[in-house]
């Protein structure tokens, strides 16, 4: 059944279809696996591939575990552009709400709109996906106030991990190896509001060019100067001499005015490896191995593969444990990714960041672990402990129906025998400086 529900503002109300008998199997599953709440009606606060993948994955789980793919009900948001394109994710949903066109701040990244639609449609939870509002702490905060489950980390944790300086301090506080930087040795604990105490934060910030020069001479050139609030190529400079550092200091300050600034040693000859984490509300965090995302173009990943082969299994397992300790220290919930730089010559891992969301390359993880990650997010949102999720138990070679405990830091999972490679295919116009372009694909030839 599909409802066509154009967005008419917060005053309108629509009652969704609910069949009491259909919810029974889901309720029984939640109760049998130690869950605390039933989440049947889901708002997909995203579009395109992310939305389509989420619906297909959760429906597949419902069919395999509950015997009925329609146990779950999906409400999607649809802009005019997506409707005119007859986007697949709209056809996959049970209902859609038409949202304003234009930039994503008008629709998929509009926190107030997402929360209003969630209330209007009477959904039990919101799946954020990646991009758009997925890393905006205002979304989980507003949903919590409305009594609606957010399938991701809490607002304070998202806030803390969203700051490059604060997240690096938290990482080294959890004994996660970090690249030499100006904040070496600074430690702190996350506060209830998601911040860290001001004193250690200030110690990890550079206040002047003179401080920056002294740090560069201590950790050694080349260095990277960064504005913590920068992004998209802004507020970042590579410096190899004092003279370049002086110019870089002025440029970074001018590009991201008022942002705290920090410095890290440039890690050369490194690979980009990442660990896929998932945490529950009871403090457990599992590592679903990881991926090698070293092949990039214009700071965007082109090939993602797993499991990583450049690092020894034992070395990578230590990186996994360090990532788990960091996530456990901040009470991380949901799916997230810890990114590392790995130097094959020295077998050293260095922390980059923890992305507090699901990533587009998560199908690589699904392919090597057999874990349906969007469905796992949903089950954790229902309060089911990690150790009671059948996919996780299979990953550890355990009876999926049993309830024995799993020590995720020390128990060994079954290492995959297969290898998965994912590629992102994009179009660029060589006559326009290789700018990204769009249009109909006339021919594809792989050599």
Per-position DSSP letters for 149-182, written without gaps between them: EESS--HHHHHHHTSHHHHHHHHHHTT--B--BT
Q: Could you say which of 237, 271, 291, 357 is catalytic?
A: 357
Q: What is the DSSP letter of 335?
A: E
How far are the Cα atoms of 78, 176, 237, 371 from residue 263, in angstroms, in the given order? 42, 18, 10, 38
Give helix then strand counts, H and E, for the chain: 15, 19
Judge whether 311 and 319 are in contact, CB under 8 Å.
yes
**Phi and psi (nearest 5°) for 153?**
-70, 165
DSSP assignment of 342-397 equals: EETTTTEEEEEEEE-S--TTHHHHHHHH---HHHHHHHHHTT--GGG-HHHHHHTT
Cβ atoms 120, 128 nearer than 8 A: no
Question: How many whole angstroms separate alpha carbon 175 and alpha carbon 155?
Answer: 24
User: Is 357 considered catalytic here?
Assistant: yes
For residues 183 and 201, the answer to whether their CB atoms sit within 8 Å is no
C-alpha radius of gyration, the chain, whole number: 23
Q: Rounded distance, CA 138 to CA 159, Å?
A: 9
CA nearest to 127, candidates 379, 386, 387 = 379
Catalytic residue ranges = 357
């Amino acid at each position: 059944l599909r409802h066509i529900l154009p967005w008419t503002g917060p005053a309108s109300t629509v009652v969704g279809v609910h069949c009491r008998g259909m919810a029974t199997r889901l309720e029984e599953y939640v109760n049998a696996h130690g869950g605390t709440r039933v989440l049947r009606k889901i708002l997909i606060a995203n579009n395109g591939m992310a939305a389509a993948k989420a619906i297909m994955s959760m429906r597949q789980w419902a069919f395999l575990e509950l015997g009925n793919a329609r146990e779950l009900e999906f409400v999607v948001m649809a802009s005019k552009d997506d409707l005119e394109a007859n986007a697949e994710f709209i056809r996959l949903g049970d209902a859609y709400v038409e949202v304003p066109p234009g930039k994503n701040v008008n629709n998929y990244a509009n926190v107030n709109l997402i929360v209003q639609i969630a209330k209007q449609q009477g959904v039990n939870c919101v799946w954020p996906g990646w991009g758009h509002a997925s890393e905006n702490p205002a979304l989980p905060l507003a949903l919590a106030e409305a009594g609606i489950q957010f399938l991701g980390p809490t607002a304070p944790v998202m806030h803390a991990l969203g700051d490059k300086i604060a997240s690096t301090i938290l990482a080294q506080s959890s004994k996660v190896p970090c690249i030499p930087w100006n904040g070496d040795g600074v430690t702190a604990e996350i506060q209830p509001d998601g911040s860290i105490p001001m004193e250690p934060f200030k110690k990890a910030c550079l206040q002047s060019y003179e401080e920056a020069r002294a740090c560069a001479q201590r950790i050694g050139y080349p260095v990277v100067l960064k504005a913590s609030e920068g992004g998209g190529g802004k507020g970042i400079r590579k410096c190899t001499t004092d003279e370049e550092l002086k110019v870089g200091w002025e440029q970074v300050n001018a590009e991201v005015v008022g942002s705290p600034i920090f410095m890290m040693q440039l890690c050369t000859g490194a690979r980009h490896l990442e660990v896929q984490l998932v945490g529950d509300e009871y403090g457990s965090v599992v590592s679903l191995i990881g991926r090698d995302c070293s092949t990039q173009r214009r700071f965007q990943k082109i090939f993602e593969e797993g499991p990583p082969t450049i690092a020894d299994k034992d070395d990578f397992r230590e990186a996994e444990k360090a990532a788990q300790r960091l996530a456990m220290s901040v009470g991380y919930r949901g799916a997230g990714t810890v990114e590392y730089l790995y130097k094959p010559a020295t077998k050293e891992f260095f922390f980059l960041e923890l992305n507090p969301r699901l990533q587009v390359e998560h199908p690589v993880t699904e392919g090597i672990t057999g874990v349906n990650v969007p469905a796992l997010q949903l089950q954790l949102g229902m309060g089911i402990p990690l150790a009671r999720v059948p996919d996780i138990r299979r990953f550890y070679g355990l009876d999926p129906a049993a309830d024995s405990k799993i020590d995720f830091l020390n128990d060994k999972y079954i290492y995959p025998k297969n290898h998965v490679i994912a590629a992102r295919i994009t179009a660029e116009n060589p006559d326009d400086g290789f700018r990204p372009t769009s249009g109909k694909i006339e021919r594809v030839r792989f050599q």
